[in-house]
Amino acid sequence: MELFKPDGHISDEGFAVLLAGDADTLGNLELSEHLAFCDLCCEKYAALLTEDILIEPPAPIASVVTHRIEKRSRTILFRRIVKVGAAACLAMGLWLAGTGTGVIPVEAIGFLPTVTQSEQMEKIRDRREKEDVALRKSLKAVSEQEKEATPEATLEMKISGAFEELMRSLHDKKR
């Protein structure tokens, strides 16, 4: 009975003899000396003592598993790309249609009158003149109320009078 394989490791028969305790003194000594320095045989012997059966798969399954993982990751990536692409297309469609911003081009309405730049400037001037007139009236009313309240001119009245004169002079220079 051979206790060792040709490569120097303990054979299956050697492990069986070791587990059964049927080895002679010299064989027992050789097996224990080999287990002292060979980690591979020591690991296999420890596994046999714990009664764990080490079974290797009949065919390599690593390639099958990695293929499934790669296929699943491609499917997930494709789905994400499709979702993002659909969202981008929808956003661009809404943006180009103008419904996303609430802004409708004036040309699309068609019935609004177009106003030239000179007409716009004239409207702005008219509005400013009306504001100036309203401001003068309110300043005049305030100053008259203050004059009635106090007979002598206060600092506030002097400032409002000076402001009123300044506004008149600016308005006269514009014309």
Q: What is the pLDDT of residue 151?
A: 53
Q: What is the pLDDT of residue 153?
A: 60
Q: What is the pLDDT of residue 72?
A: 94
Q: How far apart are the first and last CA of the chain?
A: 129
pTM of the predicted model as reported, rounded to 2 decimal places: 0.30
Query: How far from 67 is each of 50, 60, 81, 97, CA to CA, in Å?
Result: 35, 13, 21, 45
pLDDT mean for each 10 residues of the chain (175 residues): 80 82 81 86 83 69 87 94 92 74 58 70 89 88 71 70 82 68
Measured between alpha carbons, how far is 166 from 14 in angstroms, rounded to an integer?
119
The torsion angles phi and psi of 4, rounded to 5 degrees, stand at: -125, 150
Measured between alpha carbons, how far is 148 from 152 in angstroms, rounded to an integer?
9
Domain ranges in the chain?
1-55, 59-105, 117-174
Measured between alpha carbons, how far is 47 from 85 in angstroms, rounded to an integer?
55
